[in-house]
Every structure is written in structure tokens, then in C-alpha cells.
Amino acid sequence: MINIKADAAVSAFGNCEDVMDYSQLKRFAAAARSGLMSGNDEETAYYGFMRLCALAFVSYDSIREIMEEPQELRIAAFKEKCRQLSAVYGGIFLQHSELPVPEQLFDEDGAAARLTALPREIFRMEGALGWAHQGFNSPYREEIAVGLKNSKRLEAEKIAAATQLFTPMWIVRYMVQNTLCRYLEAHGYDISRGELSFGDGEPSAEKLPPEEITFMDPCMGSGNVLIYAFDVFMELYRRCGYTDKTAAESILRYNLFGLELDERACALAETALRRKAAVFGAEAEPMVYELSGADPVLGSLADSGDLIAKGGKSAVIGRLLQKKYTVIVTNPPYLGRPAMNKELSDHVRRRFADYGADLFSVFMARCMDMCADDGQLGFLAPATWLFLQSYEKLRLRIYSEYELQTLIHFEYSAFEDATVPLCTFTMGSPRKNTVGTYLRLAELKGDMEKQRQMVLSVLSGENMEYRFEADTEDFLTIPSAPAAYWLGRKLLRAFSGQTLGEIIHVREGLITGDNDRFLRRWYEVSSEKTASAAGEKKKWYWLNKGGDYRKWYGNRDYVVNWENDGYEIKNFRDCRGKLRSRPQGLAYNFRPSVSWSQITSGKLSVRFFDDSFMFNVAGTSAFPNDEKELLYILGLLNSKAVTELSAVLNPTMNMNPGDIARLPVPPRPEDMGEYEDLIRENVAICREDWDSFETSDGFERHPLI
């Protein structure tokens, strides 16, 4: 047996991993890929490089010893060292060991030499293999991403590479501390909750033996979630009086379970977990399984019965998928429905239809299916599930079956490797307390290290403006039940009242089918041919076409060809005779309205239009019944409160008629005199500003003259 010093194990309870700069390791891995791909196939290059990194991970000095050998003996020495280590660490040392070692790996300026120039501390960190793996694969992942942008569906063999995203260790700690540690504390164990704990769990009468507490990561990647959970279980067993060796063996045999579609990442997870156990003299085999052999497309989403029927290793995986787990923590893959290949898309439609907007929401539903009745769940996932209507059924299931206990909402661009806004959150079953704690960092500019520092600050009692408490019961008052945790109870409960769509008509307008053909700027056509009111026998009519962010008045730029009551547009067809235009909302043309741009800059801005205007789909409009109602609605929709509420109903750049129609409207006060005067004044000020530019039809002279 190969001896390993106890100090080689770095406890994830420490903070050193958070501040370690992994960017140089990722750059090193990407550069190594470029060099090793010269004269080698991708598989040979990958396994040569990752075995080198794994050697640094478990026996750093061995690389220096190999480099001291004559160059012609280095590859043989490397292969022999990997053979020896495979008996203890398996995984990456054992997988495809028949592959040749790239000759340039141990050149004087090769990857091994450059590796030894990196800070040694990098390879003492638990996440080193995962970062190296992601760095090596990043060029390939970027290539796949380009294909997805070009609307290509993802082939089975590319799913793993395209959807893998390494979870920073501090987020791992947050998830595990607020699921596993919370569970243990609630069940009577004296356990360290850690610096990222949000609070205490409710005590429970039942105290299970440590061996009966199960922890699953069904999308484990290189295993960093399981690695940290190992440390928590080690503390648990020690407090229960177990020896370190027995504890380590029990953890791998009874407590930790992992599944992964990528055989390479799974091999790294196995090696990392074996390293953890080897520190304590234990040699148990980790219960981690790669899924490509069982089902290379569906992975953890496969039907357990189908896998069991296959027998062998597939049956083992099938039985794992049938089990209920005490704690499930994972960073699921992110992949929209349009990018799914046919087999995956059909399976999602058949088995997870209510949650099929994205692969991550499918996995969330799968994890809920696998969670024990009193279990805990933790996720790192796109924040879109909090708000978008396509995830409504997922939200409703969570609100009805689970306590949404904690959540951290990150700034959009904080996570360098993700192209979507992310959040991490934990929840527990059964549903008892509906009030959760939320940290809103969405406006906090900065990378993940800045986000981490702010989380620690808030949890220590500072910067409490980022901390919110909300009751999921209040979310149910909002149409489609978005998790608008930051609004406060008063604003949330405003949604229980009357909506705008119940008071006035909200409509989409004309679609011409070819704006270049039918629309002009007002100054591009003769004023003699431009109508100033409905019913005039003219060719051009004023058109509200949306436009830039502008409140109260403005964006009066366009006219539309509506000659002969729009005959040409109404009969505009393609070569097959199909109508290209959509002459909708015509009954609402030439009526006073309040209007907003369907495509916004991110915030709602509403303008007044008089009865000389038509409107198209980009200038979506609402039509009050009289002037008093128009002024009231115009002022209300331009208020700060409605700006917040509209962002909840649709957090994207699009503001659809249905979103505005669902806005709550408080009863109109009887005395509106002062309010109406202020609205008229705002309109007048903005009209004067609009007319001060030559592009306005109301322009008379420049304000500085």
C-alpha cells in the first residue's frame, strides 16, 4: 500500500480554496491541450494530461522525481507510477490505461515542466482535478456553444461536455452546510454548521445511525460536492466514536452516492474520493457510477425499470435511481429544449412534460422524486426558474411540497463560465415553515469572489439590505407565482386585488409583414399626404411603433401606409397566397391610449398617445375609458412600484400585453385633482423636450436660440 501523510488531506471546512486563483490552472490546461493535440488524438492527449494532474494531486513530488530521470526514461517511469497508484486510487489512473502517453508530455518545456512552475498549493486543493478537467475541455465546450447558437441540436456524445460547469467550493459548502449539516443538527447531532450556514434546522425526535443517512449527487461531475460531504460525514462519525479508518470506509460504503454521464469526470471523482479515504488508511470503493454505458443520452433521467431489466452494471444504477436519499445536492446541466436531441426531447416530453423548459428543471423534478420524505435538497441552477412562466409548474410543486429555506441570487455576469444568471438554494421536506431567507446580490457587480465576500458579510450581520425574508404563500398571489422575495409583503399582497386587464383593454397592434415596405419616418413623406385624424382620405397615418426608453410623451416617429383603409396591408400575401400581415387591434386605432415598447431596455416606460395614432405590435397599448382613467393609469404605470412589479411578471427584455394586463391596480381615489395636474405637467414637460429636436413634427426652434 502507498502511504499518504495525513496533512495531504485538505479539509473543505477551511477557506483557502475560496481565495485560490484557479485561472492559471485553467489557462495551463487549455494551453496543454493545444500542445498535446499535436500528433495525438484527443483521447490520448486528455488521459495523458489528466493522469499528470492526478499524479500532482496525490503525489506531487513524484513529478519532480520523474523529471530528474533521463528524458528517454520519463514516460516509462510515469507509466509505472500510474500503475502503482491505480491500485489505491483507481479512477483516472485505471481508466483507459492502455492508451499511449504523449511523448511531449515530459519534454523540457512540456506540460510536466510547466506544471511544476505552478504554485504547489493548487494541487492541494480539493477542486484541482475538476478545474484542470474543465480547462482542458474549454476549447471543445466553446466549439459546441457556437453550434448551439446556430440552432444545432446536441448530439449524444456532446451532452456531457456542453453541460458541465464546475461548482466553486464555497457554493458547495453553502449547499452542503444548509442541507446535510442542517439535517444532522435537526436530528440531534452536534455538528459544525460552518460559516455559510443560514441558521438552525427545526429539531426532530428521530436520530438515525450515521450509516442510514444517504447523500446523492446525480450530476456529480468531478465529485467536488461529494468530497466536501465526505468531510462532514467524517466529523459525524468521529463524534459518534468511530475510528478514522472505519469512518472513511463507512462513508464510501453507505453514505455517499454519485452518478455522472461523463466517464472521464466520473473517474476523477473516484480518484478524489479514494484519496480522501486513503489518508485514513481506508480502501473502500466509492459508490460513484458513470452512466454512458447504461444510457448515454438520458443518464440520471433514464427509467430505473428499463435499466434494471438490462442487468449488470445498468441494474445497479437502476436500483440507485429507485432509492430515496436523505440529502441530494447537485449542479444540474443547463440545456434548453430546442438544443435537446430527439431522444432526449421525446423522453422529457413523455416523463417530465411539466418541467421540460430546460434540462436543469427536469433534473430538479427528478431530484424531488428521489428525495426522502424528511430530506433536504440543494441546487446551483439558472435563476430563470424563479420568474419565467415556463417554470410555473416547477415553482408550484416546490411551494406545495417543500420549504424553500435559503437562496442566494447572484449578479448576472458574476459566474465567468455561465451564460445565464444563476442562483443557489436549499429546500427541505416536508413543508412546515413557508418563510425562507434570501440574499439578493443581483445588483452587486463583481465576480464570484466579491459575491462570496458579501454573503459572508450579510451572514455576519452586516449589509443587511441584501437580506430578505419572504413567505412562499405570498408568491401564490402573483400570476404564475414568481418568487419575488424582495418585494415585501405589502407589494406582494397587492397582487390579490384587481388587475389592469380587468379594468381596461390591453392590446397588440398591427403587424404589416414588411415594415420596410409599409412604414416611413414622418419627414420622409409629404405632409399633404399625411392624415392628422381618422377618416381622412390620405395615404399615410401616424403610427405608434414603440421605441426607446421614454416616459410620458414621445417616440412619435413613424407613419404607415393605410391608404384605402389599409387595403394593401390587409391583402399582403406571399407567393403561395398566404397572408403575411396580421391586421389586428384595428378597432382600437385612433383612440387615446397609454403605450409602452414591447421590447424594452429592461425597465417599463409608458407614454400618452392621442386619437390621431394607429399602433403596431411593437407599440403595445392600453385603452382607458375616459380622460381621468387615462391619467390615473399613465401615472400608475410610470411609478416606481409598477416598475418593480412589471419586472417580476416578466424579467426579460420583452413586455407583452399579458404581462401588463396582470399588473395589480389599486382603487382610484375620489379626489384626483392634484394627481391629474402632476401627470399633465409631466406630459407637458416631456412634450416640450421631444419637440425641441428637429426630428419632432412639433419642432419650431432650438431651445437655446
Residue 14 has pLDDT above 70, yes or no: no
Q: Cell 439558472 belongs to which residue?
A: 382
Cell of 565: 383603409
Give pLDDT, residue 15: 46
Give pLDDT, residue 223: 94
What own/partner pairs with CB < 8 Å and gap ≥ 24 does 501-504 have? 501/658, 501/660, 501/661, 501/662, 502/665, 503/629, 503/665, 504/622, 504/623, 504/624, 504/625, 504/629, 504/633
Q: How far apart are CA 552 and CA 679, in angstroms?
A: 8
Residues 6+ apart with CB under 8 A from 551: 605, 606, 607, 638, 682, 686
Question: Between the CA of residue 195 and those of 13, 338, 414, 481, 550, what are the distances in Å?
Answer: 9, 40, 21, 32, 46
Cell of 507: 392590446
| pLDDT band with cut points at 50, 70 and 90 for residue 148 | low
Give pLDDT, residue 283: 86
572 forms beta bridges with none
Domain residue ranges in the chain: 17-141, 153-188+208-494, 501-690
The fourth-level CATH superfamily of domain 153-188+208-494 is: Vaccinia Virus protein VP39 (3.40.50.150)
Sign of CA dihedral 661, 665, 667, 669: negative
Give pLDDT, residue 4: 41
Is-above-0.85 flag for pTM? yes
Question: Between the CA of residue 292 and those of 86, 171, 271, 365, what are the distances in Å?
Answer: 22, 27, 18, 21
Give pLDDT, residue 354: 95
Q: Which helix (H) or strand (E) holds 175?
A: helix 169-177
Q: What percent of the chain has pLDDT over 70?
A: 92
Burial bucket for residue 372 (CB in 10 Å: 0-12, 13-18, 19+): middle
User: Taking residues 289-311, what's their average pLDDT?
Assistant: 85
Residue 162 has pLDDT above 70, yes or no: no
Residue 10 has pLDDT above 50, yes or no: no
Q: Residue 524 half-sphere exposure, CB side, CA atoms within 13 Å?
A: 13
Q: How far apart are CA 189 and CA 238, in angstroms?
A: 12
Residue 376 has pLDDT above 60, yes or no: yes
Give pLDDT, residue 147: 62
Cα 156 to the chain's mean position, in Å?
22
Give pLDDT, residue 2: 42
Cell of 476: 401564490
Question: What's the pLDDT tens digit per position in 626-657?
Answer: 999 999 999 999 999 999 899 888 877 788 89
Indicate the residue type of 87: A
Other Cβ atoms closer than 10 A to 625? 11
φ and ψ at residue 290, rounded to 5 degrees: -90, 145
| pLDDT band with cut points at 50, 70 and 90 for residue 205 | low
Q: Cell 502503482 belongs to which residue?
A: 84
Higher pLDDT, 144 or 604: 604
Q: Return the CATH class of domain 501-690.
A: alpha beta
- What DSSP letter does each residue of 237-264 carry, written as one string? HHHTT--HHHHHHHIIIIIEEEEES-HH
* Pair 345, 362: CB distance under 8 Å: no
Cα 557 to the chain's mean position, in Å?
39
User: Taking residues 484-509, what's their average pLDDT?
Assistant: 91
Q: From the DSSP assignment, how many helices (H) and strands (E) are in the chain?
A: 27, 18
User: Taking residues 380-408, what's their average pLDDT?
Assistant: 95
Question: What's the pLDDT tens digit per position in 163-197?
Answer: 667 788 999 999 999 999 999 999 989 888 889 99
Give pLDDT, residue 595: 97
Phi-psi bin for 281: left (phi > 0), alpha (psi -120 to 50), beta? Answer: left
User: Taking residues 244-268, what's their average pLDDT?
Assistant: 96
What is the largest distance, in Å, between two alpha-carbon atoms of the chain?
Answer: 96
Give pLDDT, residue 8: 38
Give pLDDT, residue 78: 95
Q: How far apart are CA 679 and CA 688, in angstroms?
A: 14
Give pLDDT, residue 201: 64
Higher pLDDT, 375 or 152: 375
Cell of 617: 405590435
Residues 6+ apart with CB under 8 A from 48: 36, 40, 99, 100, 101, 102, 105
Give pLDDT, residue 158: 63
